[in-house]
Amino acid sequence: MTNKQIVYLCLYFIFSIVVFLYIDLPYLGQLSLIIFVLSLGLFLLTNMPAGLSAFIALTIGILLGIPEKILFESMDEHVVWLMIGAFIIGAAVEISGLLDRLIHWIDNKCHTENKMNIFLFIIVQIISILVPSTSGRAASMIPIYKAFASRFQSNQKYFSLLIPVLILMGANLTLIGAGSHIVGIGLLKGQTNETISYVDFIIWGFPFGIIMGVISLFIIKKLFFIKNDTGSESSFKEVKSKHKPLSTKEKKTLLYLFITISLWITESLHGFDIAFITIAMSVVMMAPNIGVISWKQGLKSISWSLIFFVAGATALGELLVSYKVIEYIQKNLYGYLSQFENINELVVLLIIVIITVTSHLYVTSHTTRAVVFVPLFLLFSDMFNLNPISVVFMTLIGTNYCVTFPVSSKALLLFYEQDRKPFKNIDLAKVSGILMPIYMLIMIACYYFWWQYTGLSLR
């Protein structure tokens, strides 16, 4: 054990003692908070696989008193099955030959820096409007990432960061951009009988999402893009030989992809969850005679480390809700905010922006952030006689930011767990160190120059 790790361990023990002595929570609430921080520390500060860090923390928690069912129910999450299906569909695209064909297309069409970035930006914006899940959008972009990473090998880090960050910024574009939007608007409707329509959300969110997408592209390009990367000659020669008519397997894969995306887009019409659709289509792609890959190939393609981490991290996050840790944070935050009586609009705006944008640092689940902060800020709006629609919309936009850690977003995790881990935690933290304050400033600027004139005035 290194000196640095010993220091971290000592700090963790001090934190644990403080939690048990001074945090007014039941024992299981205190324990949930401590093992959640343990999991985060193992993931961020060691080279331990992501899945192992989460399950070590869960196992320790169970030994100390947390119910065993938490471990067994950790796989009972939609996002877990969505990712399993997405990995299998990605394998079908690769094994069928479509990935090589896409690489060849990139060789011909995206051979300059500007064309490459414009293509990526536009395709992510289109997918962000069509596919109602950040995890689903990330899964659908994996083949494109692999094509670019293969063609421009020295820029793998650049693409692995750019694509998921653009996806996260694209969550601001529409009402279906994130599941938390639906949750937040449902809470708004239940408490105030007000709502935000699909068109309203586009009017307010679309300009902000596009601006943040362009800024994200510029920042990540400045930090990580390596110029004069024209791709490896061997890759170019390899894909040249693939320029031939579509094979039967490729046609089948294209058809199944079209059906999958169509079912994703029409989720509100047929009622089947996006995770079920993904699993069902992945099963079709592995089925004998009609499929494009074998059962063995499909299972081999799944990143089980990522699956176990998502399952474990989700279970740890739910512990914070079940054992009142999140409620404790809510009460203390509300108590602090209630000290202010007459405050001007800018201070109100700053409170909403700073708390919501930084919320991903201590509440890792996107939906949980909406569940925690929308009711809190609805109370806040009632306390200071604010427009509840404006408060909820800005709360949702603020909680959409989750770039600092891979654990904060399933989209980031999906790219983080690609072969040879294309980027490190420090790379993401570097991006967020620049992007997070800009995100806050653009929220404030959008309020003063757009939102308050289009029906979102706080007062």
283 belongs to a structural domain: yes
87 belongs to a structural domain: yes
**Which pLDDT score, from 0 to 100, does residue 340 have?**
67
Decide: pTM greater than 0.85. no
Two structure tokens written together for 435: 């992007």
**Which pLDDT score, from 0 to 100, does residue 363 have?**
78
241 belongs to a structural domain: yes
240 belongs to a structural domain: yes
285 belongs to a structural domain: yes
Q: Could you report the per-residue pLDDT of 352-368, keeping only the tens digit for each?
A: 999 999 988 877 777 77
**Which pLDDT score, from 0 to 100, does residue 6 have?**
86
Residues recorded for the chain: 459
155 belongs to a structural domain: yes
**Which pLDDT score, from 0 to 100, does residue 93 have?**
82
Domain count, the chain: 1
Q: Which domain holds residue 82?
A: 78-171+230-304
**Which pLDDT score, from 0 to 100, does residue 111 have?**
66
**Which pLDDT score, from 0 to 100, does residue 95 have?**
86
Tens-digit pLDDT string for the chain (459 aa): 678 878 888 999 999 999 999 888 899 999 988 998 888 788 777 777 777 888 898 999 999 999 998 888 888 877 788 778 878 887 888 788 877 777 677 667 766 778 888 888 988 888 787 666 777 788 778 888 888 887 778 888 999 999 999 999 999 998 878 878 878 888 888 888 888 887 888 899 999 999 999 999 999 999 998 876 555 544 444 444 445 788 888 899 999 988 987 887 777 788 887 778 889 999 999 999 899 999 999 998 887 877 887 788 778 877 877 888 877 877 787 777 677 666 788 888 999 999 999 988 877 777 778 877 888 888 888 888 889 999 999 999 999 999 988 878 888 888 887 777 788 889 999 999 999 999 999 999 999 999 999 989 988
370 belongs to a structural domain: no
312 belongs to a structural domain: no
